[in-house]
Amino acid sequence: MSNVQPALALEEIEGVRVLEGGAPRRRGRRQSSAIERPDWPLTIILVLAAITVLVPLYVTISMAFKTQAQAVDGNAFSLPAPFSLEGFTTAWELTNFPVAFAISVLVTAGTVAGTILLGAFASFAIHRNWDRPFFKWSFFYLLAAMFIPFPVLALPQIQLTGITGLDNPVGVTVLHIMFQLSFSILLFTAFLRSIPHELEESARIDGATTWQVFWKLIFPLLAPMSATVGIFAFLASWNDFMMPSLITSDPQLQTLPVVQSIFQTQFSNNYNVSFASYLMAMAPAIIVYLFAQRWVMEGVTQGAVKG
């Protein structure tokens, strides 16, 4: 009988070449060490960028919890001793915070929901009918609106909302949706290119209508990009000052940024009240972004690469 030696199997697991019957051989040690080496210039730049955000945030939080005497002692970086809620209670009563907060929430929620739904509808129609000139030029027409800022159209918008009776938070919500559609359609359309047409074709073979294809197949797949569009619409609507201040005629129905501006003169000598008011206004945006940032990054990265 002839001695038949078994073939040696070569496996590679996580950069380690393993030869059955022999010792593992390390490959790519030089490459792995180069990859693990930190990029110090980029790290320094990121640290400096983080400091420019964290230091003002620290000052805002510190000043908000100080008493009026501590707030004017000239030491903004000192910790409040003792912690005081005086600024929050004064700002709550002075600005009628519950009413302004509720109006901001309603306007922002309507803007987010309307932007996601209308943006997804329009993007699906444009993407699936791209070969038709009407839909292609409609896409370019909508993108052109990105280059027209609201201040350019402010006067006619004020006149139109006044004539139609939309000089209120409802009109502000409608205008927020309209001005967010261009950017949202751009993101949705780019994301739809990564969804294979075979999925829709298989659903239609099973008897699904266009409405069923969108709601049961396409819209669930748009969840990462919907989160991205939603967070951008939320930040734009929640922090907007110019549009509500010009469109809404009743001062009692203004959003938080406008209400803070109205009472700005009363905050001039009460730094703890002003910083407490600012902190209460920006806290919801920070909380929403912290919870949604994972979906934002996922939506941006998936929409940038065609699968």
pTM: 0.77
Q: Which residues contact 101 (CB under 8 A, 6 or more apart)?
A: 256, 280
Q: Are 286 and 177 in contact (CB under 8 A)?
A: no
In this prediction, residue 48 carries a pLDDT of 93
In this prediction, residue 8 carries a pLDDT of 43
Q: Are 276 and 93 in contact (CB under 8 A)?
A: no
| Tokens describing residue 36 | 């693990």
**Pairing outcome for strands 16-19 and 25-26:** antiparallel
In this prediction, residue 265 carries a pLDDT of 67
CB neighbourhood size of 40 (10 A): 8
What stretches in the chain show pLDDT beneath 50?
1-2, 4-21, 32-33, 303-307
In this prediction, residue 125 carries a pLDDT of 92
Q: What strands lie across the sheet with 10-13, from one edge to the other?
A: 10-13, 16-19, 25-26
Select from 102, 106, 85, 107 the least CA-distant residue to 279.
Answer: 85
User: Which residue matches tokens 């409040």?
Assistant: 80
